[in-house]
Structure 1
């Protein structure tokens, strides 16, 4: 597909005064400053501190193909909103270029693109005219816009009297229904009630499925994972990552700068755990490909706990397993090799053994967990007791909770199962 957006070496610089005052002055301030310079004996370089500058964006380059849905993530101040303003032609870049083919419908700060003195009705036509639509084209979509926004009772009063939520509802409805080729949305899910947020998410899915291009800025990683096929991660005004591995990059973003998770306990590096029955070689949490999970993983993917031991002495009482402990120190569950019927226990042998069990998808809620190595002689004593063992690893669940538009953020509790519900009639007993 051809590129509908091409950004090449884009930069946006803002001027800041050296004193922290605004980088502009009134006529009165300019005259007073000139008088001070005239009567001062100090050199000009000492009379006035040099102006400083701040690069909100620097060396940003990327292409977006027609029909792509791109999530833009980053901490506050990373340059996300500035990038959208440049692409929406609200502000001009200081360097580089941004080439855009097609109409852009922008939903940035609350009220952007609205004239405060005009009514809601007039602003719908005003925005349509900005997008280059004729009056009859706007009229054909007018009823849908009003119905979706839910502000029909207030359509003929000035926008300046709307609440921020009402402005956002109308702005999103206008941007989505006037069918621009490119839709630019900045944190729409941060405003409005849950029902409106659900409608927004559903509408953006419809827009994406219709082949239009969407740029979506959000701090809600679950929404990004539901909507986007690609993610740009901005950091300090530059692109840190540009990837289609949406779940992985969202997980790394949620982890932040705290470094990688400890997904493996290796006895060559950590303290050894030896007994007359066995020696622990490694204890890991791995993904479906067998790679150590040292980054967050979504709720909708399995994680496998892998134990590698050298067994020196066999016993039917020998147990291995793990315990999952949440951030509050509560043990969420245990899983042990002897949990099932005896004929289903894994067969252990002298020498090297690799044991593994899968934590199924849609079990653990979002959050960080400690996974402790479990080893005991059943009913006789511990080799490695959950809660006190040195053999433990970390697991973080982030995102992937559910495809439901109602379930985008963490619910209470340690478990987050997605159960199947059915509807049907029941017959009362006699």
Structure 2
């Protein structure tokens, strides 16, 4: 059985917020002088001291960033921490990293902790990259010889050899994060804590970091805590998840089940029936509104399954678009996401090179996906409307409504296979002589 490396009991962190009274925000000199005179008079009057304290207290508010959290994390666990903005994720990491002290509760951590919470954490801006590597190693309790053994690996991973002897205050944010992550991951911490800061890096670097965190956990049996709004990255890396909401622990367990709960609680979409108009007037959207989706209808051609979407079949949408003026639209897109928020289908008219002309007022645009290569299950539909360069976004509804995809054939096979996407394929045996097979011994 794995050993517990992090034990959290009844952990809480309270902040006191001060609110400035509305009428005291803007004053002329005359008002300041009058208030000062009143303040002196009240100070000299002992009967006003209690009233003064009460007024001060009325302008202060308690805010619990995290409240009564209790959980255990085992050695080698990769734990994702998810939740909406303001859920308490970053505060929890700061508490675990000993950057801030809890108001109540206790934290027990076995071993060394390395944290990467924001750009610049743990680095001295005036020191060079080389000097900061040794500084961070010393903070983690490593000897100079231990740091030397890891030095080349750190520099190679960070890809900043050319700037190694440059003060880090001259680094770009991407260079800063590359070096900071490389130091944190290679100096053999028992617990590696990483916040959303990896989003500063490019796609290749993020992929590289995820691979390194998997290596740290799997091969070195070290513990990783990872906060990210990238659900796909959480799903790839983490075996367990903590779900926070308003500072409280909502769920802690298997990653897929926790992510499903999180996405369903955040969803603004409704499950819609085929051949029924879905009103989008209250949908959560972005864009300049020059043209916008006001209603949508979907259906397949299969009457025997009540016109539901089905695997490998066609799926048709009727889009009711209202425009303030006559405009040409270069990009109308129907997006299909799975239950984890991963984009599976992005059917964009830009790929067809087709321009749609909208008249002022309401327009009906027929949109047809020829073959929907999705397995049976529930999916979320998103809608996008912009010019062909994507520079002017008219309307974007990320979560418009949900559809149910049904399986017409091979239902048993569909239940046993993983993934969401179907494909046509063949399997056959080929003669070894025809395969140009060469074995090197």
In structure 1, what is the equivalent of residue 176 of structure 2? 167
Q: 1:235 to 1:125 in 2, by over 3 A?
A: same
> CA offsets, 1:204-248, max 9 Å, x none?
11112121100010000111111110110111001111121x223
**Counterpart check, 1:332 vs 2:372:** no
Specify the alignment match of 1:48 in structure 2: 56
Q: Which residue of 2 aligns with 1:176?
A: 185
Unaligned runs of 5+ in 2: 23-35, 275-302, 312-337, 345-364, 384-400, 406-419, 427-434, 437-441
**For residues 261 and 341 of structure 2, what CA distance do their matches in structure 1 show?**
11
What is the Cα deviation at residue 158 of structure 1? Answer: 1.6
Q: Deviations over 1:351-381 (max 9, x none)?
A: xxxxxxx9438x99x85279xxxxxxxxxxx
Instruction: Give the 3 Å change call, closer, same or farther, for CA 394–138 of structure 1 in structure 2.
Output: same
Equivalent residue for 2:232, pick from 213, 222, 242: 222
Structure 2: distance between partners of 1:78 and 1:242: 15
- Distance (Å, rounded) in 1 between the aligned partners of 2:86 and 2:156: 35
Q: Point out 4+ residue stretches in structure 1 off by more than 4 angstroms.
A: 31-37, 39-42, 278-286, 297-301, 414-420
- Partner residue, 2:375: 360
Match of 2:43 in 1: 38
Q: CA deviation at 1:160?
A: 1.6
CA pair 253-419 structure 1, distance change in 2 beyond 3 A: farther
Q: 1:144 aligns with which of 137, 153, 156?
A: 153
Provide the C-alpha distance between the structure 2 equivalents of 1:99 and 1:90, rounded to a whole number of angstroms.
15
Distance 1:36 1:251, change over 3 A: farther
In the alignment, is the contact (CA less than 8 A) between 1:71 and 1:230 conserved in 2?
yes
Deviations 1:67-123 (A, max 9, x none): 000000011111111111111111111100010001011111111111112111111
Q: CA RMSD in A?
A: 4.1
Counterpart secondary structure, 1:205? helix
Partner of 1:240: 250
Cα distance in structure 2, aligned partners of 1:170 and 1:284 = 48
Distance 1:285 1:33 in 2: 76
TM-score by length of 2: 0.60
Q: Aligned to 2:204, which of 192, 195, 205?
A: 195
Q: Is contact 2:14–2:63 with CA below 8 Å preserved after alignment?
A: yes
2:69 alignment counterpart? 60
